[in-house]
């Protein structure tokens, strides 16, 4: 499994083609696990969610992999990944808020309260929109659980977000993957897709950093 993950991370197209050729059901399982891990555990934000969905769609267009199996399967992976991440965040959040340690009460609890206010105001749209931004989508469900964001609302918008995100990238790959230029320049397209989806994340990070530097001067 680890060897397959490595190959998919660094040789996505070739690795998926080889896997589908050998055992299409194993390929489904590996894709399911990658999407689940990227959305379900905060230690895997580096996994290529958008690019992987695109690649899977490209391969489904020209192999035994069925788009009718692939899309629902990966939507389900994204949904349960978010739920798992939420539950972990919920357990950690409860322990932090109940901790008797003064440092935790002084520094961490106020941060949780601020984050809770953010989710109360922007939680619904952040769950959906955040799906389209690498790294961010890994942490949104975790922090939603940490601040005890309403689980029924979280579940509803997780389903909506997953049902938009997975078909969006997968079907783009499925319908455009047969274009000759994309076939011949797949690595460029794959890399470009990752860069484009990361731009908003780095923009927000730089903006926050610059804002913090200006504060002492005011």
- From first to last of its 218 residues, what are the pLDDT tens digits of the chain? 556 665 666 566 677 778 888 889 988 998 999 999 999 988 888 787 888 898 899 889 888 899 999 999 999 999 999 999 999 988 887 777 666 666 666 656 666 667 777 787 877 888 888 888 888 888 889 888 888 889 999 999 999 999 999 999 999 889 886 666 666 665 666 666 666 655 655 555 565 555 555 544 44
As a whole number of angstroms, the distance between CA 27 and CA 16 comes to 7
Our CA angle for 66, 68, 73, nearest 5°, is 95
State the pLDDT at residue 94. 72
Q: Both tokens of residue 191?
A: 């890399």
Q: 119 with 125: CB under 8 angstroms? A: no
Residue ranges per domain, the chain?
2-217
Which distant-in-sequence residues (6+ apart) come within 8 Å of 187 by Cβ? 13
State the pLDDT at residue 22. 86
Q: What are phi and psi of 113, to 5 degrees?
A: -65, -45
State the pLDDT at residue 215. 47
State the pLDDT at residue 201. 55
State the pLDDT at residue 188. 66
Q: Residue 45 burial by CB count (10 A; 0-12/13-18/19+): exposed, middle or buried?
A: middle
Q: Both tokens of residue 17?
A: 């083609």
As a whole number of angstroms, the distance between CA 132 and CA 153 comes to 19
State the pLDDT at residue 173. 86
As a whole number of angstroms, the distance between CA 87 and CA 25 comes to 29
As a whole number of angstroms, the distance between CA 10 and CA 83 comes to 28
State the pLDDT at residue 7. 63
State the pLDDT at residue 218. 45
State the pLDDT at residue 153. 92
State the pLDDT at residue 154. 93
- DSSP 8-class letter at 40: H
Longest dimension (CA), the chain: 63
Dihedral sign of CA atoms 158, 163, 15, 30 in order: positive
State the pLDDT at residue 151. 92
Which distant-in-sequence residues (6+ apart) come within 8 Å of 62 by Cβ? 177, 178
Could you tell me the pTM of the whole model? Answer: 0.78
């Amino acid at each position: 499994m680890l060897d397959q993950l490595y190959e998919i991370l660094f040789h996505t197209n070739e690795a998926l083609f080889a896997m589908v050729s050998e055992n299409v059901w194993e390929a489904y399982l590996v894709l399911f696990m990658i999407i689940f891990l990227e959305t379900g555990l905060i230690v895997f934000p580096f996994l290529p969610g958008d690019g992987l969905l695109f690649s899977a769609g490209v391969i489904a267009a020209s192999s035994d992999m069925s788009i009718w199996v692939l899309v629902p399967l990966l939507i389900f992976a994204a949904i349960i990944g978010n739920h798992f991440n939420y539950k972990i965040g919920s357990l950690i959040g409860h322990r932090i808020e109940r901790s008797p340690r003064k440092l935790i009460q002084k520094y961490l609890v106020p941060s949780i309260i601020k984050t809770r206010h953010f989710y109360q105001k922007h939680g619904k749209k952040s769950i959906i929109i955040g799906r389209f931004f690498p790294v961010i989508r890994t942490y949104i469900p975790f922090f939603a659980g940490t601040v005890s964001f309403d689980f029924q609302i979280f579940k509803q918008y997780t389903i909506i977000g997953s049902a938009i995100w997975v078909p969006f990238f997968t079907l783009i790959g499925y319908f455009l993957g047969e274009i000759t230029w994309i076939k011949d320049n797949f690595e460029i397209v794959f890399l470009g897709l990752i860069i484009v989806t990361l731009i908003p994340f780095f923009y927000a990070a730089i903006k926050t950093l610059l804002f913090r530097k200006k504060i002492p001067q005011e």
